[in-house]
């Protein structure tokens, strides 16, 4: 009896583990006290070849092709935004040195959902779809925005697309480190580092199908029973025949 109970408990625990591993995940790196007004990089692409946002205390995640990365613009750009986006972990949580090379998750040929943003705050409408997998163990993260594409590459107007909805090192959330404009793309980054103007973001990591789970069984419609023909036309056979006809109706 005890062995049976132990076996049932082990199965239940295993099922809980599988369920949590397969659950969809939203990673929200958002400020507690949003601040700062800025146009880079989604409102003005003309003076930065590469822009880096550096974060810390970011939860671990496994981004897959088809998952999404969203930013919150609360003013609109005048043309569709097209940029390349890459990610890299940092060697230390809160540092800016990369622990590995960048993984490009969005090419500059992609037109995101809501490509000019909108005037709402907090809806994270500018949504890019990842085209590559990226494993992040948690801690320090760098998002690189580079290589403007399409009409956005020649957009010379400065549209202030962030209005007091960004983060910085003093934000109580503890997520935001710095922004670097004019990065060389290799460490040490060069360019201008400022402890402010760091864009919040959200990742939506879809629920993957459980590995090895068979498809649901298809049930066939129940077959109608055929009435047996009576060998002899007795009174009882005639009654049985009438009953069979009623069942078929």
**What confidence score (pLDDT) does residue 18 get?**
36
Distance of CA 59 to the CA centre of its chain: 13
32 lies in which domain range?
A: 23-205
**What confidence score (pLDDT) does residue 19 get?**
40
Angle ∠(15,208,205) on CA atoms, nearest 5: 115
**What confidence score (pLDDT) does residue 156 get?**
87
Cut 0.85: pTM above it: no
**What confidence score (pLDDT) does residue 216 get?**
45
Residues 6+ apart with CB under 8 A from 140: 54, 55, 56, 58, 89, 90, 91, 92, 93, 94, 95, 99, 177
**What confidence score (pLDDT) does residue 224 get?**
47
Distance CA 51, CA 28 (A): 21
- Domain assignment of residue 30, yes or no: yes
Distance of CA 126 to the CA centre of its chain: 13
**What confidence score (pLDDT) does residue 5 get?**
41
- Domain assignment of residue 42, yes or no: yes
Distance CA 218, CA 62 (A): 33
Phi and psi at residue 71, to the nearest 5°: -120, 160
Residue given tokens 């983060």 in the structure block: 167
List, in sequence order, the alpha helices (H) in the chain. 2-22, 235-248
DSSP code, position 113? B
Q: How many residues does the chain have?
A: 249
**What confidence score (pLDDT) does residue 46 get?**
84
**What confidence score (pLDDT) does residue 23 get?**
77
- Domain assignment of residue 175, yes or no: yes
- Count how many domains the chain has: 1
Dihedral Cα 58, 43, 168, 68, nearest 10 deg: -10
- Domain assignment of residue 200, yes or no: yes
Cβ atoms of residues 103 and 88 within 8 Å = yes
- Domain assignment of residue 248, yes or no: no
Distance CA 215, CA 209 (A): 11
pLDDT (tens, 9 = 90+) of the chain, 249 residues, equals 444 443 443 434 333 333 444 579 999 999 999 999 999 999 999 888 899 999 999 999 999 999 999 999 999 999 999 999 999 999 999 999 999 999 999 999 999 999 999 999 999 999 999 999 999 999 999 999 999 999 999 998 999 999 999 999 999 999 999 999 999 999 999 999 999 999 999 999 998 656 555 444 444 444 444 544 444 444 455 544 555 454 455
- Domain assignment of residue 145, yes or no: yes
- Domain assignment of residue 85, yes or no: yes
- Domain assignment of residue 184, yes or no: yes
Closest by CA position to 105, among listed 82, 128, 132: 132
Tokens of 32: 């507690």
């Amino acid at each position: 009896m005890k062995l049976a109970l132990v076996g049932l408990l082990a199965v239940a625990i295993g099922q809980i583990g599988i369920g949590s591993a397969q659950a969809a995940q939203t990673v929200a790196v958002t400020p507690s006290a949003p601040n700062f007004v800025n146009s880079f990089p989604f409102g003005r692409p003309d003076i930065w070849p590469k822009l880096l946002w550096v974060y810390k205390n970011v939860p671990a995640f496994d981004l897959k092709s088809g998952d999404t990365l969203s930013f919150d613009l609360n003013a609109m750009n005048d043309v569709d935004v097209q940029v390349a986006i890459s990610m890299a972990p940092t060697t230390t949580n809160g540092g800016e040195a990369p622990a590995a090379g960048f993984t490009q998750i969005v090419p500059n040929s992609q037109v995101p959902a809501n490509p000019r943003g909108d005037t709402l705050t907090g809806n994270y409408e500018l949504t890019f779809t990842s085209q590559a997998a990226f494993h992040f163990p948690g801690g320090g993260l760098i998002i690189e925005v580079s290589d403007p594409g399409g009409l956005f590459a020649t957009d010379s107007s400065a549209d202030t697309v962030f209005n007091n909805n960004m983060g910085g090192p003093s934000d109580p959330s503890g997520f935001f480190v710095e922004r670097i404009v004019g990065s060389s793309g290799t460490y040490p980054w060069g360019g201008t580092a400022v402890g402010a103007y760091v864009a919040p973001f959200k990742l939506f990591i879809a629920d993957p199908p459980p590995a090895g789970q068979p498809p649901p069984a298809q049930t066939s419609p129940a077959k109608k029973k055929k009435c047996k023909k009576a060998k002899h036309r007795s009174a009882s056979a005639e009654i049985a025949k009438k009953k069979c006809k009623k069942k078929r109706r």
